[in-house]
Structure 1
Amino acid sequence: MVVSCLASTAAQFLELVRGKSMVFVGDSVGRNQVESLMCLLATVKCSLTPGQWFSRPLIYHENGKIVGCHVCKNESITSLSRYYGYRMALRTAFKAILSLPNFKGVTFLRSFSPTHFGGEDWVKGGNCSQTRPFLQQEMESDESNLEFYLTQVDEFRVAEREAGTRGLKFRWLDITEAMVMRPDGHPYHYGHPPNKEKHIADCLHWCLPGPIDSWNEFLLHMLKMEGQESVDATL
């Protein structure tokens, strides 16, 4: 039954994107979604990849000049938060899309994928050993996840308004609330090759198959809605 459902979903997805191009823009979590999609379409096992760059030491360049840095430990450079870099990356990507000549496609922004490091971060070896989803009353607030999410919302709304004036479609694929409930869906210590040290827990990426597969179910539903809108517009 599961194989039958997957085959049906894959057929629907491929039919909806027939003759079209689809581009995923993002970091390794975005690639994680692509791998999930490939698994759903091809029903094969996929590997995971590491990294989430906006939380690491960064130097920000604008117009060829250094404007600031994040945890670079250089007093001569203005200290800027990681959210600054994230905001500017979103703004730059949206500007590039909006400046494309003759572009008539649909742009989907997938909302921020939350981490579950149990109060610690990647370097300090956080903990996501849960084996079941959170109950509503068990959820803990995470200011970092929330700030990344709100940064996305702010930049998306601005770009969406601009897109509307140009007859373009921007769509919001919101996975954050659903994924906040799934601390059990990360590789934890089990996402590393057998010969690697396992002292760092991966509470950022998602197991395949796993909760991340729902992202592409959401995307499929939104593609169906776009297709129906196109049909309705021709009637």
Structure 2
Amino acid sequence: MIQRWHKKKTQLPFIAIIFFFFILCTIFFNERRFQQIHRKHNDVIGVGVHNDAKKPFSSRSTHFTPVVLDRFSTCNSTVKYNGRKAEWDVPLRQYNKQREKKDSCDVFSGRWVFDNTSYPLYNESDCPYMSDQLACHKHGRPDLDYQFWRWQPHGCNLKRWNATELWDKLRGKRLMFVGDSLNRGQWISMLCLMESVIPADKKSITPNAPLTIFRAEEYNATIEFQWAPLLVESNSDDPVNHRLDERIMRPDSVLRHASEWEHVDILIFNSYLWWRQGPVKLLWGNEENGVCEEADSLEAMELAMHAWANWIKTKVDQLKKKVFFVTMSPTHLWSREWEAGTEGNCYNEKMPIEDERYWGSGSDLDTMRMVDNVVNNLKPRVSVINITQLSEYRKDGHPSIYRKFWESRTAEQMANPSSYSDCIHWCLPGVPDVWNELLFHFL
């Protein structure tokens, strides 16, 4: 018996070697498989391939990790944009408007009605989160009529504002505004509309940061703002220091911002204003030598919109997440557009425009058509909040000279207020409150 036992035992090392070799092969196979999946995942959400000469990246470029853009980033050299597009796994097609079902009432078509009984929905001085850029009465605006206008759709009514009802809808959820200073203004409006029903010891807010969060503890809910003026990664993503002479963007990546989007229940995007500032430098994700391409604003915005849309198509389940896109906010820089023969702007304007056919040059139709095609192609994943036409009428709603300016005014400017009037942003309470009423209507 002892002799037989020793004979059997001598076979164990050989079996162990075979087993060990099998384990090594399995680990090697799984590692290769993981790398393939990881590369495919990166391609889908924004690091992936583009059709430079209609070819995918080389293996060397695939493993290249792009340098993160910040306000110190520069282009080593610049060439003209050659028309390349990102090759998304989920391509966008031309949208067929015949597929769209019209609502029984178009809440975006209507008129402004003076209502000093129901409006404003809050007082400027009572909102602890009011911005000095938007607090027009605090900074000397003598008239208050801009606060008392209610949007009245033709043939129907907007849902009446109810902060408690909206908090109930947000219980246990995150709501996030993503975009530029106009979207930040809508976020501040939302905070002013919502904060008064939350006890002081049950609410908190983070200071200036790429992601600013207002938290209501008893609802376990947040209302957040993420600074992302171009939607894609750019050198202007610092929420404070973003005034740069050269704007550089990564046209094939939303990863820096989208890492937060995935865990948000309700997303409200905007993008427009920053594309009105001239050419944009493009630094593709596979570019190792710092060579940028220069594109005009519409070309660059279309690339950014497609990168954003690809993330929506690959990541958004409309049963679990609500996504809204807010259309362009108009400017009122030339009074001759609503009053022929004048040379001013929004300064000293006190009444809305009554002509429902009015359309100012601050709202670019080519840009709107491009955005319309991209966003409509994403339905039903994305709903549109069309603020453009209704805001076009409100030449009286801008801060003009009644806001905090961070740069000192010259004597020449002070003698000519129109020369430094802010006809881009909006006073609060005011027009952005109606944008949030529209959002509430659709939630």
Q: TM-score, normalised by structure 2?
A: 0.40
User: Secondary structure of 2:162's partner?
Assistant: helix
Report the residue type matching 2:393 in the other structure. M
Tell me the CA shift for residue 148 of structure 1: 2.8
Number of the residue aligned with 1:208:
428
Q: Distance in 1 between matches of 2:424 and 2:180?
A: 12
Could you report, residue by residue, the CA deviation over 1:29-83 in whole angstroms, capped at 9, with x for unpaired residues?
111110111111125xxxxx998421224212233445632xxxxxxxxxx3212
Structure 2 distance, partners of 1:156, 1:110, is 10
Cα 1:93–1:191 change in 2 (3 A) is same
Residues 137-168 of structure 1: CA distance to partner in whole angstroms, max 9, x if unpaired? 783542753233222211102222xxx5xxxx
Please give the root-mean-square deviation of Cα atoms over the aligned residues, in Å: 3.4
> Superposed, which structure 2 residues align to 1:69-84 within 5 Å?
69=294, 80-84=295-299
Counterpart check, 1:16 vs 2:169: yes
Q: Where does structure 1 lack aligned partners over 5 or more consecutive residues?
A: 44-48, 70-79, 224-235
Residues matched between the structures, number:
198
Structure with max Cα Rg: 2
Q: Structure 1 13/201 Cα, relative in aligned 2: closer, same or farther at 3 Å?
A: same
Measured against aligned partners, the alpha-carbon deviations of 1:197-235 in whole angstroms (never above 9, x if no partner) come to 264221111111111110000000000xxxxxxxxxxxx
Is residue 54 of structure 1 aligned with residue 275 of structure 2? yes
Task: Judge conservation of contact 1:126–1:203 (CA < 8 Å) in 2.
Answer: no
2:341 is the alignment partner of 1:112:
no
Aligned match of 1:68 in 293, 299, 303? 293
Distance (whole Å) between structure 1 residues aligned to residue 173 and residue 399 of structure 2: 33
Of Structure 1 and Structure 2, which has the larger fraction of its residues in strand? 2
Question: Relative to structure 1, is the Cα distance of residues 115 and 5 closer, same or farther in structure 2, using a 3 angstrom cutoff?
Answer: closer
- Structure 2 CA distance for partners of 1:171 and 1:143, relative to 1, 3 Å: same
- Larger displacement relative to structure 2 (98-107 or 199-208): 98-107
Q: Is 1:126–1:200's contact at 8 Å kept on the other side of the alignment?
A: no
Relative to structure 1, the CA distance from residue 102 to residue 138 in structure 2 (aligned partners, 3 Å threshold; closer, same or farther) is closer
1:221–1:136: structure 2 CA closer, same or farther, 3 Å change rule? same
Q: Is the 8 A contact 1:186 1:204 kept in 2?
A: yes
Which of residues 314, 323, 347 is equivalent to 1:99? Answer: 314
TM-superposed CA distance for 1:171, in Å, is 0.8
- String of CA shifts for 1:105-149, please: whole Å, max 9, x gaps: 0111111111111179xxxx9721221101217835427532332
8 Å CA contact 2:327, 2:384 repeated in 1: yes
Amino acid in the other structure paired with 2:437: E
Shift in Å, 1:196: 3.2
TM-score scaled by length of structure 1: 0.71
The offset of 1:186, in angstroms, is: 0.6
Aligned equivalents of 1:132 and 1:192: distance in 2? 23
Aligned pair 1:173/2:385, yes or no?
A: yes
Amino acid at match of 1:181: Y
Partner SS state of residue 185, structure 1 = coil
Secondary structure of the residue that 1:151 maps to in structure 2? helix
Which residue does the alignment assign to 1:183?
395
CA distance in 2, matches of 1:107, 1:2: 29
Q: 1:8 to 1:213 in 2, by over 3 A?
A: closer
